[in-house]
Amino acid sequence: MKEIILDTETTGLSVKDGHRLVEIGCIELENLIPTKNKFHCYLNPERKVSEKALEVHGYTDEFLSSKKKFKEIVQEFLDFINGKRLIIHNAEFDLSHLNNELKIIGKETLKNEIVDTLQLARDKYPGSSLSLDALCKRYRIDNSKRVQHTALIDCDLLSKVYVNLIDQKEPTLNFNSETIDNKYQKDNKVLYFKKIIKPSDKEKLNHSQYLKTNLKKNFFN
């Protein structure tokens, strides 16, 4: 299954105050493993960056003034995410800005399936600090390169956090079942699905013989 880790940076917090996108970053995952496919762009927001946003990402008005406008990259972006589940931390924020940009140029809002890793973290660790930095610390993920917020660095970190949040770092094998449906569910909606196939008797015998032959200490006598 292909999924997209997505992050944005903006001129400020709320679209209600006229704030716009300044950066979009996407990393593609296939079966939870990053592929080489990425989408990244800086954007000319056609307005000034707020002081607080500048402190967060460091993108100045001068730097952004020469970048493409959203309408110039929108089709490439939509083609990249088409039909793929979007994995976003605090999805409400990013989606509000993305959909606002789409509305400005007369396009439909996003219809992709969304997984909000902030909500996953709230379900798993209620009452805890759940920022991306806090989750990196919890899972011992090196975030030393995150001096300021940048979309691609944040996507890279979120891809590692996501794998830990859905407990897929080391899938558990149960050979007593024909198949195992390994799901994360919320409100009866499957957010992740992985099927594990039962090995045949011959495959289990071959595996046992391999262990007997190759392990330094024989645990099978």
For the chain, which residues make up each domain, given as ranges? Answer: 2-165, 179-214
Q: For residue 160, give the nearest of 140, 130, 183, 146 by alpha carbon.
A: 140
Determine whether 57 is an active site residue: no
The H or E element containing residue 193 is: strand 189-197
pLDDT at 63: 97
Cα 138 from Cα 128, distance rounded (Å): 10
Contact 118, 90 (CB under 8 A): yes
Burial 10-48 (b: 16+ CB within 10 A, else e): bbbeebeeebbbbbbbbbbbeebeeeeebbebbbbbeee
Spans in the chain with pLDDT lower than 50 = 170-190, 192-196, 216-221
59 near 42, Cβ under 8 Å?
yes
Beta-carbon count within 10 A of 185 CB: 10
Check residue 210 and give its pLDDT: 63
Element (H, E) at 194: strand 189-197
**Given the residues 40, 89, 149, 207, the one annotated as active site:** 149
Query: What's domain 2-165's architecture?
Result: 2-Layer Sandwich (3.30)
